[in-house]
């Protein structure tokens, strides 16, 4: 692909026709593996991302066309899986584990050091487009905590010194893991948030709509109070969920103002 310039940096210009020509043989091979060709959707999306470095709108549209599935199906599938990137990302995707075993072994300090060294936060990309940074759930490497993945390759026993070494090697082009292709310059924030402004009833009018009622979030009680005030959700859609059925009664006995329930 030809090169262009973005903010003084050389960046490959997007040429989707060339991308399609490269992916199409693999896509046809994948479709031939399944009795129903739509079963090839996930590996086909990976094939496009492996060439472009992200999952572009053109790639999703072409996958839908080849598989004879609606674009809505392709987009909903891509948005469900966190390893499909629907916006351009850096050449190195740095994913640091933030789960229990890693945190017990210093992951909080590791994450803070990464953020300081890179000058970015969770789900952000450095201004030069080299690094995208994400703090992720368990990577199943608890015996070598704290751990991370670089372009899905594991790095174990993280320390500030090891972080300095791997960042220096990536910048120098000598790191053992190959950089990802980059056919479009990433923006600062690469994560695609909620596509619609409307939430289901349980996620409306709460302080944390993506995790209503979660730890430290009083909105779980708010939801019960709304149900107690109006039984319509139960009457319109009957449920055997105990928290809904018994919510009003439980509110009478719930501790208030910092009281501890015994």
Give pLDDT tens digits for 30-62: 999 999 999 999 999 999 999 999 999 999 999
Please list, in sequence order, all residues whose beta carbon lies within 8 angstroms of the beta carbon of residue 71, skipping any fewer than 6 positions away: 60, 61, 64
Weakest-pLDDT range from 70-84, 151-165, 202-216: 202-216
- Phi, psi of 161, rounded to the nearest 5 degrees: -65, -40
Name 24's bridge partners.
Answer: none
Per the domain annotation, does 258 fall within a domain? no
Residues 64 and 135 in one domain: no
Domain of 138: which CATH number?
3.40.30.10
Task: Give residue 6's pLDDT.
Answer: 37
Q: Give the dihedral sign, CA 20/24/30/33.
A: positive
Last residue of a domain, one of 27, 48, 80: 80
Helix (H, G, I), strand (E, B) or coil at 5: strand
Q: Which of 114, 109, 119 is nearest to 94 (CA)?
A: 114
C-alpha 254/C-alpha 228 separation (Å) is 14
How many folded domains does the chain comprise? Answer: 3
Show the domain range for 143.
92-172
């Amino acid at each position: 692909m030809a090169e262009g310039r973005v903010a003084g940096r050389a960046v490959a210009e997007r040429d989707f026709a060339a991308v399609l020509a490269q992916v199409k043989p693999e896509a046809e091979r994948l479709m031939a593996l399944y009795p129903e060709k739509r079963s090839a959707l996930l590996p086909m999306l990976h094939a496009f991302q492996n060439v472009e470095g992200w999952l572009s709108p053109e790639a999703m549209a072409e996958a839908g066309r080849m598989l004879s599935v609606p674009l809505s199906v392709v987009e909903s599938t891509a948005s469900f899986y966190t390893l499909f990137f629907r916006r351009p990302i850096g050449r190195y995707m740095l994913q640091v584990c933030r789960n229990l075993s890693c945190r017990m072994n210093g992951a909080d300090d590791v994450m803070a050091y990464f953020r300081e060294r890179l000058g970015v936060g969770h789900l952000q990309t450095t201004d030069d487009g080299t690094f995208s940074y994400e703090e992720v759930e368990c990577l199943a490497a608890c015996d070598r905590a704290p751990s991370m993945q670089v372009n899905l390759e594991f790095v174990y026993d993280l320390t500030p010194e090891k972080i300095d070494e791997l960042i220096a090697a990536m910048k120098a082009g000598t790191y053992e893991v190959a950089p990802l292709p980059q056919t479009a310059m990433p923006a600062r924030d690469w994560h695609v948030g909620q596509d619609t402004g409307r939430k289901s009833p349980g996620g409306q009018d709460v302080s944390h709509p993506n995790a209503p009622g979660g730890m430290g979030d009083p909105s779980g009680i708010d939801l019960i109070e709304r149900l107690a005030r109006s039984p319509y959700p139960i009457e319109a859609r009957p449920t055997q969920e105990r928290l809904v059925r018994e919510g009003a009664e439980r509110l009478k006995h719930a501790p208030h103002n910092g009281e501890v329930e015994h």
